[in-house]
Amino acid sequence: MANRKASSGEPLRVCFVCMGNICRSPMAEAVMYDLVREAGLAASIEVDSAGTSGWHIGKSPDTRALEAAKKQGVYMAHRGRQFTRGDFDKFDVIAVMDIDNRTELLGMAPNADEASKVRLLRTFDPDAQSAIEIADPYYGTASDFERALDEITSSCTGLLASLRVEYLQDH
């Protein structure tokens, strides 16, 4: 991750991306929003989320995602949207949930600099060992959503620590 926002005074913008933008990425957006606020960095880091597909544009998160988040005290107020090529200009870090999401976005990236913004979120999870993906819980059970949220929370905690080092050395 490049250190281009640290001295600009502009907030760092992070976008979380999954396939439909109704399960994993809105959970990640909500978790990261809470972590950023708790760290006193709301003026320094902005978060959003999107999906690679347009299937759920304008829809609320999956009820199972909402329930898993509620159990952990995470509030999700999101409407699904599709990631666009223009989002590469808007965001500094694009954290994807799985290899398919990464492949899709790398294919959309207008150049190598923009492609370098795309990172697998799970690689920031210190407990992930060799796992690099957060599995899509959509066809699973409530426990699959809870596991995904746990992985997302650990990954977002690691991502925030990395952002502080790479972009926000004075925070």
CATH number at residue 158: 3.40.50.2300
Q: How confident is the model at residue 168 (pLDDT cuts 50, 70, 90)?
A: confident
Looking at the predicted structure, is the pLDDT value of residue 28 above 80?
A: yes
- Answer yes or no: 102 catalytic: no
Between residues 170 and 120, the one the model is more confident about: 120
Is residue 82 one of the residues assigned to a domain?
yes
pLDDT at 7 over 80: no
Residue 13: half-sphere exposure toward Cβ, Cα within 13 Å: 10
Q: Is residue 3 part of a domain?
A: no
Per-residue pLDDT, averaged over 57-78, amounts to 95
Question: What mean pLDDT comes out for the span 96-105?
Answer: 98
Q: Pick the catalytic residue from 62, 81, 136, 156.
A: 136
CA distance 49 to 20: 10
State yes or no: pLDDT of 3 exceeds 50. no
Asked if the model's pLDDT at residue 25 lies above 50, the reply is yes
6 in a structural domain: no
7 within some domain: no
Q: Is residue 167's pLDDT more than 90?
A: no
For the whole model, what pTM was predicted?
A: 0.94
Range of the domain at 79: 16-166
In a domain? residue 171: no
Number of domains in the chain: 1
Annotation says 136 is catalytic? yes
The one catalytic residue among 24, 81, 102, 122: 24
User: Among this protein's residues, is 24 annotated catalytic?
Assistant: yes
Q: Which helix (H) or strand (E) holds 16?
A: strand 12-18
Please report whether residue 5 resides in a domain: no
Is 124 inside any structural domain? yes
Judge whether 34 and 74 are in contact, CB under 8 Å: yes
Q: Is residue 120 part of a domain?
A: yes
